[in-house]
């Protein structure tokens, strides 16, 4: 498992566990989360944006990750990943209707990857353009 895959796993686990400190640690300075179509929020709002999304769209679900593609160029990486919501009561249920989330990751001065753009609406944003 590469470092970017590990970062995504930590981020999704933190969201599922409602752990704001761990969620925040996954983001870089000045990170943006696309919490509603075509709107971003500043880093200090990343945690609240994800918590709002969680309360509104997934109160009885957890997020799981499927296939992903990582395209790296130096200290920046584009990640396209399949995300699935599955019921908390049956977390091993086969997921359906995955979404293609889009992330931009950046390696910081310490060599650690951090998310700088989190777009869990992914390619569905085209439907709102």
How far is it, in rounded angstroms, from Cα 98 to Cα 20?
24
Write out the residue range of the structural domain in which residue 44 sits: 3-128
Residue found under tokens 């943006």: 32
Structure pTM? 0.84
The DSSP secondary structure of 8-48, one letter per residue, reads HHHHHHHHHTT-HHHHHHTEEEEEEEEEETTEEE-GGGHHH
> How is residue 30 written in tokens?
């000045």
Domains of the chain: total: 1
Local confidence band at 40 (pLDDT 50, 70, 90 cut-offs) = low
Task: Report the pLDDT value the prediction gives residue 66, as an integer from 0 to 100.
Answer: 86
> The domain spanning residue 111 has which CATH number?
3.10.450.50
């Amino acid at each position: 498992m590469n470092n970017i895959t590990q970062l995504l796993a930590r981020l999704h686990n933190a969201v599922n566990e409602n752990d704001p400190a761990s969620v925040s640690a996954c983001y870089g300075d000045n990170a943006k989360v696309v919490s509603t179509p075509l709107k971003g929020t500043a880093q200090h709002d990343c945690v609240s944006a994800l918590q709002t999304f969680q309360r509104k769209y997934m109160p009885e679900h957890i997020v799981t990750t499927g296939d992903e593609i990582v395209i790296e160029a130096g200290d920046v990486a584009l990640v396209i990943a399949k995300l699935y919501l599955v019921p908390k009561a049956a977390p091993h249920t086969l997921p359906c209707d995955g979404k293609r989330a889009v992330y931009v990751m950046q390696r910081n001065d310490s060599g650690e990857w951090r998310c700088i753009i989190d777009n869990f609406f992914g390619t569905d944003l085209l439907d709102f353009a």
